[in-house]
Chain A
Amino acid sequence: MLRKYRRKKWKKYKNILRNNKLALGFQKPRNWKVIKRYENYKSKKFNKILKQKKQIRQNSNILKNNFNHGDRLELPSVINFTHGWDNIKILHERIKAYNKTLTSNISIDLSKLNEISINGLVYLISKIDQMTNHKKSLRTNNYKNAFKYNAKYGVNPDNEKLKYFLSTVGYWGYFGIKNPYKIQKNIEDEYFLSIKTDVLSKSCYVADLREFISEKVDFLKDDLIQEYFDDAITEAMANSVEHGYIQKTPTRTRGKWWLCGHYNKKDNYLEFSFKDYGVGLRKTLEYNADDLVRSFIRNLKHSAKSDAEIIKLLVNDKLPKYKGKKDKIRGYGFKKFKEFASKIDCDCEMKIISGRGQYKYIASLSREEEILDEMDFSTDGVLISWKLYLSRKK
């Protein structure tokens, strides 16, 4: 009742104000200041929402013109970091544009998708997670947390390989979708470790991945190799949780990471990928380091060191060891990634992507090479993948 009375009074005041700038003749109630403050606040909020909606409508029109439909995110035909940057850039830009139009529930169109790799999958899932968090942060009334499968925009029904991959890797399960389609046949040569995710570093996930590998191949039978493997994955997890998230952002769950694995029996290769969507390596180093490393980073900036070059310094243990906030020595993790790739007895390709940089390390019998690459767009967090060609012995 009080609210209605106050609103009535405010409307009366506004009406008088229209004809009479000094609002003469208007009798102010006792708590007028409170009413005025509240009504001004409400009108400001209302105008802000109106402006946002207008902006979203405009963005939606832009997106409609670019992709023909602004209501859903259309995935490109390939999402694979091995096939160069173009497909990732397309996905990156579509997600960026789609985020601006996010008015209703998230809708993802998989109908054009033909191929997705393990590293592409963890990248995509991290992006969807960000979109979901963004949606939650908008707090719109019609937001639903659960995803549903819409066959119209689902996986191409003829692409049995992709259907099998997404089901076995736990993509649908991750979003709470149960058995969205029937799988006609089992692809016997492909094995997948279902997506693992957490906000803490738990060693049992390392044991899970090791068990998955040991069931298929025996390359981890050597205790020393096992140790290199454990160290690499443990440090990747710990680095993400400890250093990857330096500030609270509404679209990122602090400490979150994803891990996924794949074994192809026919071609006898094994791959696993690790991803977080934190602030990336350059910012992490600047934030966590002590004065010694800060001055080192500043010098790097001056000498225009790229993100890829910074990754190279980290994996080769060329950054000075630094003391963290509690005076503890940090910075052991990254060299363990390369150590694993170089010590195992088969050919290995390791890739680390952060910011605009990509660092690739190839270790084989004939060569050992480090390849640096720069992208014209920036990815968030860190993506680490290893691909092991088990038949090619060093």
Chain B
Amino acid sequence: MEKKRIEYNFATEFSPYPGPREEVIGPFSGERFRKEVLENFFQNNQPILLNIEDTKISFGPSFLSESFGLFAKKYSLEKFNEFLQVKQDTEKGKRFYEKMMEYVLREIENA
């Protein structure tokens, strides 16, 4: 049975400063987020509602492509959409979702 979706606050639970693509380039990278957060929740069948409201800087293309893009490419867009939802009750949340999906689709198209 699928678990109830939980809210994941990116700024408090990961970092208020989303980093670059890989951990060797800088801290709080997309690679680390994918491996430590997304993969973990997904393996435990735990869907999440991502809240990015408190982040101090915006998510760079490299972070989005490495974390969400590669994750969706690995498990399919359908499963990605089932597993992850973005809290879009503010303009910031809405824009983040659009930007994230842009890089997710790019990764899938280039598979």
Contact = CB atoms under 8 A, between A and B. Distances in A.
The SS class assigned to the A binding surface is helix
Contacts of B110: 321, 323, 329
Interface in B59-79: 60-62, 65-66, 69-70
B22 A242 contact: yes
A233 to B, nearest CB: 9
A235 B60 contact: yes
Interface in A222-238: 223-224, 226-227, 230-231, 234-235, 237-238
Interface in B15-52: 17-22, 25-28
B93 to A, nearest CB: 11
B19 A202 contact: yes
Interface stretch (A128-136, A173-181, A203-211, A279-287): A203-211
B64 to A, nearest CB: 9
Contacts of A237: 20, 26
Interface string A196-224: 00001111101100100000000000011
B17 A202 contact: yes
Interface string A332-363: 11001000000000000000000000000000
A26 B109 CA distance: 80
A83 interface: no
A237 B99 CA distance: 20
A207 B56 contact: yes
Interface in A306-336: 321, 323, 328-329, 332-333, 336
Nearest to A203: B17
B65 A328 contact: yes
Contact of A241 (B25, B58, B69, B92): B25
A198 to B, nearest CB: 8
A206 B26 CA distance: 13
B58 A230 contact: yes
Contact of B20 (A210, A230, A242): A242
B61 A332 contact: yes
A227 B56 contact: no
B32 to A, nearest CB: 13
Given A202-B26, A237-B26, A226 B20 contact: no
Given A204-B17, A238-B21, A328-B70, A231 B65 contact: no
Contacts of A242: 20-22, 25
B111 to A, nearest CB: 10
Contacts of A329: 65, 69, 106-107, 110
A181 B7 CA distance: 55
A207 B19 CA distance: 12
A238 B17 contact: no
Nearest to A240: B25
A336 B61 CA distance: 9
Contacts of A323: 110
B94 to A, nearest CB: 11
B70 A203 contact: no
Nearest to A232: B60
Contacts of A235: 60-62
Contacts of A231: 58, 60-61
B57 interface: yes
A202 B27 contact: yes
Contact of B66 (A200, A201, A202, A328): A328
B91 interface: yes
A157 B70 CA distance: 58
B35 to A, nearest CB: 13
B65 A234 contact: no
Interface of A: 200-204, 206-207, 210, 223-224, 226-227, 230-231, 234-235, 237-238, 241-242, 321, 323, 328-329, 332-333, 336
11 contacts: A200-B26, A202-B27, A203-B18, A203-B56, A206-B57, A223-B91, A224-B95, A234-B57, A241-B25, A242-B20, A242-B25
